Structure 1
Amino acid sequence: MSHRCLTNLKSAERAVFYHSALKYGHYLWQQGHSGRAILALTRALYADVAENDPILKQWPLPYGALKWIIANHSSTDFPGNPRISFQHQATRLRGERQCLRRARAWAVWALICETRPELEPDRTQGIIEPTLESIETLLHAHAHTGESVLWRSVLQAMLVTDSRTAH
């Protein structure tokens, strides 16, 4: 499998692209390429899939998968700091569906902050970091119906898991 599995699908049905990006992200994780897996899953997250598309019933938006990769990467040595990457995406994305993609970037950023708080933010840009409540509001305003619930469930599962392992 290679990046061509996605580049060859630029004009394909969005659900096909979405599913391929998920599979490619999984493949990259299995090959030990966590940074590239995050990029592939982000392509899936930003894909223009209708909220009522059947693919999302079987394969929900990859908040859980992204969180899992961040949590299970063997060190803080990522090929690029994912906290900064999503912070920059949330403040710099332009073009089609900008508000939706920015809301999703902040949602992933929050998962990263909660999962790996030791990852440094970008302190040089003067970026105002949103609260969890404001991210939820952004998702309510711009994302799929129920997406904020999915995101919150991933966040809450993470907090429950963290509290269990802390004892």
Structure 2
Amino acid sequence: MDAGALTAHGDERDAEFYLTALTYAQYLWQRGLAARAILKLDRALLSDVRGHETELRDWPLPYEAMAWFLRHTPPDVFIGNPRVHFQHLADRMNEPRREQRRWRTWACWALARAVRPEFPDDPKHLVEEPSLAQITAKLTAHGMPGETALWQAVLAKAAR
């Protein structure tokens, strides 16, 4: 599997793209490419899925997979700094569905902070980091039905 799997979808970022991005993330993870696998989970999370798709019943938004990848990346495998990655991505998000995609990214930032607290923020990138309450409110406003509860459950588990 390679990047052609995603580009084959053209401009579509629908449920089929979502499933391809999840599959590609798993493919990369199995090959020890944790940082690239996380980027593909990003692609899945930023897909244009609305909540009714059958793919989501079988494969919910990958908040749990993101936390699992962050927690289980071996120390000798490159992962970069996920906290900074999500901070930059959220702050620089653009259309389409800017707010939904932005708050999903902040939700992953919160997961990264909970799972891997040793990663520092980027002191050169001045951005107001949101509170968990803000993320909750914005995910509820811009996310899919049930998304906030899914993220909160993963976050609670990750913080243990």
The verdict on how the C-alpha distance between 1:13 and 1:113 changes in structure 2, with shifts beyond 3 A counting, is closer
The residue number in structure 2 matching 1:135 is 135
The residue number in structure 2 matching 1:71 is 71
Q: Which moved more, 1:146-155 or 1:72-81?
A: 72-81
Q: Structure 2 counterpart of 1:126, which letter?
A: L
Q: Is the 8 A contact 2:32 2:77 kept in 1?
A: no
The residue number in structure 2 matching 1:39 is 39
**Residue pairs, 1:135-154, within 5 angstroms:** 135-154=135-154
The verdict on how the C-alpha distance between 1:85 and 1:154 changes in structure 2, with shifts beyond 3 A counting, is same
The residue number in structure 2 matching 1:59 is 59
User: Shift of the alpha carbon at 1:79?
Assistant: 4.5
User: Shift of the alpha carbon at 1:10?
Assistant: 2.2
Q: Is the 8 A contact 2:13 2:48 kept in 1?
A: no
Paired with 2:13 and 2:123, the residues of 1 have a C-alpha distance of 39
The residue number in structure 1 matching 2:120 is 120
Structure 1 gaps, min length 5: 163-167
Q: Is the 8 A contact 1:83 1:120 kept in 2?
A: yes
TM-score normalised according to structure 1 size: 0.91
The residue number in structure 2 matching 1:88 is 88
The residue number in structure 1 matching 2:49 is 49
The verdict on how the C-alpha distance between 1:31 and 1:142 changes in structure 2, with shifts beyond 3 A counting, is same
Paired with 1:76 and 1:103, the residues of 2 have a C-alpha distance of 30
Percent of aligned pairs sharing the same letter? 43
Post-superposition CA distance 1:36-64 (Å, at most 9, x none): 00011110100001211111111000000
User: Shift of the alpha carbon at 1:9?
Assistant: 1.3
Q: Is the 8 A contact 1:83 1:119 kept in 2?
A: yes
Over the aligned positions, Cα root-mean-square deviation in angstroms equals 1.5
Structure 2 gaps, min length 5: none
Paired with 1:110 and 1:13, the residues of 2 have a C-alpha distance of 24
User: Shift of the alpha carbon at 1:11?
Assistant: 4.3
Paired with 1:96 and 1:127, the residues of 2 have a C-alpha distance of 21
Q: Structure 2 counterpart of 1:78, which letter?
A: F
Q: How many residues align?
A: 160
Larger relative contact order (CA 8 Å, sep ≥ 6): 2
Q: Structure 2 counterpart of 1:114, which letter?
A: A
User: Shift of the alpha carbon at 1:110?
Assistant: 0.1
Q: Which moved more, 1:67-76 or 1:96-105?
A: 67-76
Q: Is the 8 A contact 2:33 2:78 kept in 1?
A: no
